[in-house]
Amino acid sequence: MLIKKAPDLSESEVTPKALFVKRREFIAAAGVTAAAVATNGLGLFGGNEEVAAQNPDAQKLPNLVKGPFGTDEKMNSYKDVTTYNNFYEFGTRKEDPAAYAHTLRPRPWSVVVEGQCGKPGTYNIEDIMKWAPIEERIYRMRCVEAWSMVIPWAGYPMSKFLERFQPTSRAKYVEFRTLVDTKQMPGQTEPALPWPYHEGLRMDEAMHPLTLLGLGLYGEVLPNQNGAPLRLVVPWKYGFKSIKSIVRVSFTETEPVNTWKKMQSAEYGFYANVNPQVDHPRWSQGSERRLGEFFRRKTLMFNGYGDRVASLYAGMDLRRNY
């Protein structure tokens, strides 16, 4: 057996605490795989028992319909999805958001829209949730630290959201900004990142049918730690692109400077497409660990959505435009 000492380990090689605990359950779980699939792989038609048990105050999303483009892979558990998160506004450890995000107040909530569009203004979350039918879409999601999940998101196409503001021909990009409020987001009292958190997409990326305005998961409204009350979901990009708790949307002519590129441009580019051929400077992106699984798996180009999104980047050098 090869045993590595701490100085020899990269961050991506360290087994997450949640996975270490799950390894103890591996043998017992193997005998009940069929039952697990029956209760955790049905998406819209099952799995709410776990939500009710772990979050009895969760609010159901009304009139939820089955959306397109989802995967039939086994979903991660509600516990996985809601207790192992990156959300630095509540702390830098994976368990911090679940522990501290109760201070976030997702109602009342409004979003300011500005820039190169015909209908700028301030829009409240109650209206936003009614602008299109809310769908469930089961997406693979891949984090830059080389772990992944399969999550049953609920929301509607980002295009349906953005079209309402009538972006002009000068709108080449759309920038998103997260709330800044140190009372609601105590992690913002620390200089872990320059606040507020910024992200951006090219307009064709934002308007792509796979891009989702996330409003919930597991058929319920978004938990605070997952980006309540609304967030971006871009399944072919690394997770840091899917900005949470959005309060401002700006249509711009020039490429926005997103937070992680501003922090460390040698490690985090603007595009952040899942690409196993372009390693992070401190670890390989060629494989990933699906949370809850014992073995690593190969990372898929564009997170497995290449047949739908590769044409967006035709002619681009994906090693330079990382």
Tell me the average pLDDT across 111-132. Answer: 98
Binned at pLDDT 50, 70 and 90, residue 52 comes out as confident
pLDDT at 49: 74
Q: How far apart are CA 168 and CA 183, in angstroms?
A: 37
Q: How far apart are CA 22 and CA 18, in angstroms?
A: 6
Tell me the average pLDDT across 190-208. Answer: 97
What does DSSP say about strands 212-217 and 220-221: parallel, antiparallel, or unpaired? antiparallel
What does DSSP say about strands 110-115 and 147-157: parallel, antiparallel, or unpaired? unpaired
Which pair of tokens denotes residue 269?
Answer: 């580019």
Binned at pLDDT 50, 70 and 90, residue 57 comes out as confident
pLDDT at 69: 87
For the chain, list the domains and their CATH numbers: 6-313 (3.90.420.10)
pLDDT at 98: 97
List, for residues 227-269, the tens digit of each pLDDT value. 999 999 999 999 999 999 999 999 999 999 999 999 999 999 9
What percent of the chain lies above the pLDDT cut of 70?
A: 85
Tell me the average pLDDT across 279-283. Answer: 93
Q: How far apart are CA 252 and CA 115, in angstroms?
A: 6
| Residue 91 backbone class (left: φ over 0; alpha: ψ -120 to 50; beta: rest) | left
Amino acid at 196: P
Contact 74, 148 (CB under 8 A): no
Which pair of tokens denotes residue 241?
Answer: 């692109």
- Is it the case that residue 42 has pLDDT exceeding 90? no
Look-up of token digits 């069929």: 34
Is the four-CA dihedral 72, 214, 221, 20 of positive or negative sign? positive
